[in-house]
């Protein structure tokens, strides 16, 4: 398997712009992600985080701009070449996105059956090993997704993302819908996976506890429709320790969960529809 060289970033995004009809989601995003980094992408709903993540793996084609993985522009590749390049990625979907009609073992084995010529016995060995890596016993392989808790489904999704030994793993809201204890379990697995497999992580999350724990770099997007014409959509790019005291008040408000300005906007937009009292 080819590995990126130290002289160039593993991922480089240049002028990435995405529009759906007249609605602009991403505007002129420029970002370099070095091999081995763990980058959390944060921001309020509707700022384009998940669209950005899907652009990184070529699932959404940008209106303008490039996404380069190990020096190769994803959108200049043939479908076959792009499909092959994706084997160097792992993707953990927000709700795990397991196939309900397949057993856990079959779900985890799916990428191996699609992209390798391994024997059934070898595939079975890899599946059991990856399930063990995420803290699940061999017996889980025979179960179906409907029989699993939300946390177990998330772990199965991570096991599936690991079976092809990826260089980079993309996580879409990995702790959404989980209780605080299970969220921390998933965060610990993300940390352990990074160390064990030496992978690069890009984690889209609303969970500030997760961002602080699993990332060494945080990038915050802001919704395009709330920006001035020439303002960057990236309003923060730095270590988690700098978030609380960021110069941009929008970053501080998001990190602290302060809704004051947004409530005032809702009041203005809602005119008479909202009933406000001094204690609301």
Q: Is the pLDDT of residue 229 over 90?
A: no
Q: Is the pLDDT of residue 24 over 80?
A: yes
CA quadruple 39, 238, 211, 95: dihedral, nearest 10 = -40
Looking at the chain, the whole-number percentage of residues with pLDDT higher than 70 is: 90
Q: What DSSP designation does 196 have?
A: H
Position 257 scores a pLDDT of 83
Q: How far apart are the first and last CA of the chain?
A: 58
Q: Give the pLDDT band of residue 278 (cuts 50, 70, 90).
A: very low
Q: Give the pLDDT band of residue 142 (cuts 50, 70, 90).
A: very high
Nearest Cα residue to 51 out of 27, 73, 22:
27
Q: Is the pLDDT of residue 269 over 60?
A: no
Give per-residue pLDDT as tens, 121-134.
Answer: 999 999 999 999 99
pTM for this prediction: 0.87
Give per-residue pLDDT as tens, 73-97.
Answer: 999 999 999 999 999 999 998 777 8
Contact partners, residue 43, CB within 8 Å, separation at least 6: 49, 220, 221, 222, 223, 254
Q: Give the pLDDT band of residue 259 (cuts 50, 70, 90).
A: low
Position 42 scores a pLDDT of 96
Q: Is the pLDDT of residue 43 over 70?
A: yes
Position 276 scores a pLDDT of 44
Q: Is 274 helix (H, G, I), strand (E, B) or coil?
A: coil
b/e map 218-233, b = 16+ CB within 10 Å = bbbbbbbeeeeeeeeb
Looking at the chain, the whole-number percentage of residues with pLDDT higher than 90 is: 72
Q: At what angle do helices 150-162 and 120-133 cross, to 10 degrees?
A: 130
Domains of the chain: 11-270 (3.40.50.300)
Give per-residue pLDDT as tens, 99-116.
Answer: 999 999 999 999 999 999
Give per-residue pLDDT as tens, 175-225.
Answer: 888 889 989 999 999 999 998 889 999 999 988 999 999 999 999 999 999
Give per-residue pLDDT as tens, 234-254.
Answer: 999 999 999 989 999 999 999
Position 264 scores a pLDDT of 58
Kindly report the average pLDDT of the chain as a whole number.
89
Mean pLDDT of 131-152: 92
Position 5 scores a pLDDT of 47
Least confident interval from 48-57, 78-87, 96-105, 264-273: 264-273
Contact partners, residue 128, CB within 8 Å, separation at least 6: 138, 141
Position 256 scores a pLDDT of 87
């Amino acid at each position: 398997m080819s590995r990126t060289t130290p002289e160039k970033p593993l991922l480089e995004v240049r002028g990435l712009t995405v529009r759906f009809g007249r609605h602009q989601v991403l505007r002129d995003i420029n970002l370099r992600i070095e091999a081995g980094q763990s980058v959390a992408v944060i921001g309020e709903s509707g700022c384009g985080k998940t669209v950005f993540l899907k652009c990184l793996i070529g699932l959404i084609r940008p209106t303008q701009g490039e996404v380069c993985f190990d020096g190769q522009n994803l959108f200049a590749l043939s479908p076959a070449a792009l499909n092959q390049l994706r084997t160097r990625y792992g993707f953990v979907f927000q709700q795990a996105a397991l196939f309900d009609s397949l057993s856990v073992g079959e779900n985890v084995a799916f990428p191996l059956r699609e992209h390798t010529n391994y024997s059934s016995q070898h595939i079975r060995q890899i599946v059991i090993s990856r399930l063990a890596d995420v803290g699940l016993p061999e017996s889980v392989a025979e179960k179906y997704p409907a029989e699993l808790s939300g946390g177990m489904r998330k772990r199965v999704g991570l096991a599936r993302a690991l079976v092809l030994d990826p260089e980079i793993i993309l996580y879409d809201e990995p702790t959404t819908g989980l209780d605080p204890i299970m969220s921390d379990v998933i965060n610990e697995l993300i940390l352990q996976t990074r160390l064990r497999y030496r992978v690069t992580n890009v984690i889209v999350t609303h969970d500030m506890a997760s961002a602080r724990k699993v990332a060494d770099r945080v990038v915050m997007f802001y919704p395009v429709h709330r920006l001035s014409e020439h303002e960057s959509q990236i309003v923060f790019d730095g270590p988690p320790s700098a978030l609380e005291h960021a110069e941009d008040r929008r970053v501080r408000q998001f990190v602290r969960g302060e809704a004051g300005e947004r409530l005032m906007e809702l009041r203005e937009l809602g005119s008479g529809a909202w009933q406000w009292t001094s204690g609301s």
